[in-house]
Amino acid sequence: METTNFFNQLTQINITGDLQITIRQGIENQVIVSVLLQNTTCGDNAKNLIPPLTLRGTAEELDNGFFENITAPLQSASGLMVHMEAFMKQLEESKKNSAMEKEKADREKKEKEAKDKKYNDALQKADELEKEGKFKEAWTALPKASEFPEYAEQLRKKQSVYEHHFAPSLFSE
Mind listing the pLDDT tens digit for each residue in 148-157? Answer: 888 889 988 8
- Cα 18 from Cα 103, distance rounded (Å): 41
Distance CA 78, CA 40 (A): 11
In whole angstroms, give the CA distance from residue 77 to residue 44. Answer: 13
pLDDT at residue number 152? 87
Averaged pLDDT, 140-163: 87
Q: Report, in this order, helix, strand and coil percent for the chain, each rounded to 5.
A: 65, 10, 25
- Burial label, 162 (beta-carbon count in 10 A; 0-12, 13-18, 19+): buried
pLDDT at 173 over 60: no
The predicted model scores a pTM of 0.51
Check whether 99 has a pLDDT greater than 80: no
The one-letter code for the residue type at 22 is: T
Contact (Cβ atoms closer than 8 angstroms) between residue 113 and residue 139: no
Kindly report, residue by residue over 119-138, the tens digit of the pLDDT: 999 999 988 988 888 888 88
Residues contacting residue 31 through CB under 8 Å, at least 6 positions apart: 23, 24, 25, 56, 57, 58, 59, 62
Using an 8 Å Cβ cutoff, are 4 and 66 in contact?
Answer: no
165, with CB counted inside 10 A (0-12, 13-18, 19+), is middle
Q: Where is average pLDDT lowest: 11-20, 23-32, 99-108, 163-172?
A: 163-172
User: What are the sequence ranges of the domains in the chain?
Assistant: 6-90
The Cα–Cα gap between 83 and 27 comes to 39
Decide: helix, strand or coil at residue 29. Answer: coil
